[in-house]
Amino acid sequence: MTKHNFDYDYFVIGAGSGGVRSARIAATHGAKVGIAEGRHYGGTCVNVGCVPKKLLAYASDYGPAFEDAEGFGWKTSHREFNWQTLIENKNKEISRLNNIYQNLLKNAGVTAYNGMAKFKDEHKIIVNNEEITADKILLAMGGKPRKPRYEGAEHAIISDDAFYLKKRPDHVVIEGGGYIGVEFAHIFHGLDSKVTLIHRGDQILRGFDQEIRVFLHDEMKKQEIIINL
């Protein structure tokens, strides 16, 4: 197969931040570019990472702020939290960002395919039963958490799922004391859930500065977050 017979000069599998950026840059240099995304435009950060996590973290910080406000004369006895409202508004913001990423691709002249892509050979992929050929193909799928294989793990959720819970859990057990686990411990505690964090190691946040690890551990215990090492 010669180059001029390809449907695209360049095809990207995965429309996260890296994939979208790569597709746009290639298109600006005159390449005919296609991209496939089987889930969310914008990737992990926009949909199940940085952005929604910050929105939930902001929400969790308001509880203690209300308590502090009382010392400055504010009356906050009628405060009430609604989990569904938070998630619905989070979803609206994520949808807005998804549209921005799709428009960036469209405006750059990139053809987008909504569906999972799989290889047929080194120059052919299949998306929604459509065969597409490309001279160069970039894999930019990112990653996804996976559940452990021990008995009972099938009843647990992964961090992605936490952004779509139908209701706020009364008690949540978090397995893992890395920064994602610690952040979710902060979020759920701030939203009045009982939190137990389980970590395999002598201290949370492996790889971080030791003084920060110890200080944060102590502060979490003061907040009555249960930490089992």
Among 37-41, 146-150, 155-159, 170-174, name the one with the lowest average pLDDT: 146-150
Outline where 71-202 has alpha helix (H). 83-107, 179-190
| Distance in angstroms (rounded) separating the CA atoms of residues 205 and 42 | 27
Rounded mean pLDDT of 91-98?
A: 97
Tell me how far apart the alpha carbons of residues 56 and 170 are, in angstroms, rounded to a whole number: 16
Q: Look up residue 108 and give its two tokens.
A: 């750059």
Give 40-83 pLDDT, tens digit per residue. 999 999 999 999 999 999 999 998 898 899 899 998 888 889 99
Angular region, 14: left φ>0, alpha ψ -120 to 50, beta rest: left
Query: pLDDT at position 77, please?
Result: 82
Please state which of the four CATH numbers 3.50.50.60, 3.40.50.11860, 3.40.50.2020, 3.40.50.720 is assigned to the domain occupying 1-144. 3.50.50.60
Residue 167 has pLDDT above 90, yes or no: yes
pLDDT, tens digit, 9 for 90 and up, residues 177-192: 999 999 999 999 999 9
Q: Does domain 169-228 have CATH number 3.20.20.80?
A: no
Evaluate whether 1-144 and 169-228 have a shared fold. yes
**What gap in Å lies between CA 84 and CA 98, rounded to an integer?**
21
Residues 102-126 have a mean pLDDT of 97
Contact between residue 12 and residue 23 where contact means Cβ atoms under 8 Å apart = yes
**Site of tokens 């995304």:** 37
pLDDT at position 78 is: 83
Residues β-bridged to residue 125: 119, 132
**Report field, pTM of the whole predicted structure over 0.75:** yes
Token duo for residue 111: 């053809």
The stretch 186-204 carries a mean pLDDT of 97
Enumerate the β-bridge partners of residue 130. 127
Query: Which residues is 175 bridged to in the sheet?
Result: 198
What's the mean pLDDT when you consider all of the chain? 95
**pLDDT tens, position by position, 13-36:** 999 999 999 999 999 999 999 999
Instruction: Give the per-residue pLDDT at 8.
Output: 98
Q: Where are the domains of the chain?
A: 1-144, 169-228
Look up residue 15 and give its amino acid.
Answer: A
Closest CA to 110 of 9, 32, 29: 32
Name the more confident of 143 and 185.
185
pLDDT of 2 reads 42
Instruction: Determine which helix (DSSP H) or strand (DSSP E) holds 163, and give its type and residue range.
Output: none
Lowest mean pLDDT among 104-118, 142-156, 167-181: 142-156
Q: How far apart are CA 179 and CA 191, in angstroms?
A: 18
Contact between residue 93 and residue 55 where contact means Cβ atoms under 8 Å apart? yes
pLDDT exceeds cutoff 80 at 96: yes
pLDDT of residue 33: 98
* Residue 104 exposed, middle or buried by CB count within 10 Å (0-12, 13-18, 19+): middle
Helix axes 17-28, 83-107, angle to 10 degrees: 20
pLDDT at position 4 is 63
Given a cut of 60, whether residue 3 has pLDDT beyond it is no
